[in-house]
């Protein structure tokens, strides 16, 4: 593969032909390639020096990647392989055509309620699959969700690399690896993440899907973090107030007051939806 970006971040993987760069972040470059089998494949090439990583940590990353790949869940972008080449850690993934949910919401606006709830349930179910094999997402946000051409959703980036970023020195142990608009209060004060941390981010996404903007916004990082930690949970508009208990259960400031699992979120969503439908049929 020959490209200016690959001159800076070389990657020699036989059988892959570079097509273009899909994205570049602080810690990785995302490349679209064609494999020799004729299929498009996405390669995530991490920028940090993999030589500082222990064999045990790299092996764990590869095993977790393969475990996710075996799930073959429609709500997840499936990893295909992982390893080290040209001194860099990489992961190959299936190529999913579509746009990010963030871009879709920015260009198309707030979706109809039925579509918003369907998407929310799809995201929750996919998150539950990740949690079911003992993993956390840790960076759940609309830009890590792909809207396929058939309008179904698929989650990207499963938080596998967080430990590697710390071990390589790319990220400090006390740094928060997530997006401030989706950060949970406990992460702000340095507590370790768990499933409920992901569920808080899920609550932010629910609000975005229903209302069209994030529950907490600010021009400064300090003020944004303060709102996540201390500001009241926003009230939904009157026509959406039936879903307030669901939002409250996701955006609770303390993890112990939050909904405790993705399964619990789906059950509450279904209960609320059933009450809404029952009320509609009686009117």
Positions annotated as catalytic residues are: 139
The string of DSSP letters for 101-152 reads HHHHHHHH-SPPHHHHHHHHHHHHHHHHHHHHTT---S---GGGEEEETTS-
CB atoms within 10 A of CB 179: 15
Q: Report the Cα 1 to chain-centroid distance in Å.
A: 28
19: Cβ–Cβ under 8 A, 6 or more apart, which residues?
31, 32, 33, 34, 40
User: What SS3 class is residue 155?
Assistant: strand
Q: What are phi and psi of 101, to 5 degrees?
A: -60, -35
DSSP code of residue 191: P
Q: Which tokens is 225 given?
A: 């973090």
b/e burial code for range 252-272 (CB count within 10 A of at least 16 → b)? bbebeebbebbeebbebbeeb
Characterize 32-62 residue by residue with b for buried, 16 or more Cβ atoms within 10 angstroms of its Cβ, and e for exposed: ebebeeeeebbbbbbbbebeebeeebbeebb
* Residues 106, 89: Cα–Cα separation, whole Å: 33
Q: In what order do the strands lie in the sheet with 153-155?
A: 98-100, 145-148, 153-155
């Amino acid at each position: 593969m020959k490209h200016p970006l690959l001159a800076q971040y070389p990657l020699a993987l036989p059988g892959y032909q570079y097509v273009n760069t899909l994205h570049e972040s602080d810690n990785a470059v995302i490349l679209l390639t064609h494999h020799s089998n004729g299929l498009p494949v996405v390669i995530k090439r991490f920028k940090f020096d993999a030589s500082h990583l222990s064999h045990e940590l790299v092996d764990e990353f590869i095993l977790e990647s393969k475990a996710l790949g075996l799930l073959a869940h429609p709500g997840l972008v499936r990893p295909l392989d992982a390893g080290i080449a040209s001194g860099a850690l990489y992961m190959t993934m299936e190529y999913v055509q579509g746009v990010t949910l963030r871009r879709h919401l920015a260009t198309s606006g707030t979706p109809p309620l039925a579509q918003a709830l369907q998407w929310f349930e799809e995201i929750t179910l996919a998150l539950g699959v990740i949690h079911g094999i003992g993993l956390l997402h840790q960076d759940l946000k609309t830009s890590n969700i792909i809207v396929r051409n058939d309008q179904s959703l698929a989650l990207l980036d499963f938080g596998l690399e967080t430990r590697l970023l710390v071990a390589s020195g790319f990220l400090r142990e006390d740094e928060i690896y997530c997006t401030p608009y989706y950060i949970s209060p406990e992460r702000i004060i340095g507590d370790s993440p768990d499933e409920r941390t992901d569920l808080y981010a899920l609550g932010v996404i629910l609000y975005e899907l229903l209302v069209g903007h994030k529950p907490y916004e600010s021009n400064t990082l300090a003020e944004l973090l303060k709102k996540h930690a201390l500001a009241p949970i926003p009230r939904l508009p009157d026509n959406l107030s039936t879903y307030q208990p669901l939002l409250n259960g996701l955006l609770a400031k303390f993890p112990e007051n939050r909904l405790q699992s993705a399964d619990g979120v789906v059950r509450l969503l279904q209960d609320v939806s059933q009450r809404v439908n029952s009320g509609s049929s009686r009117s």
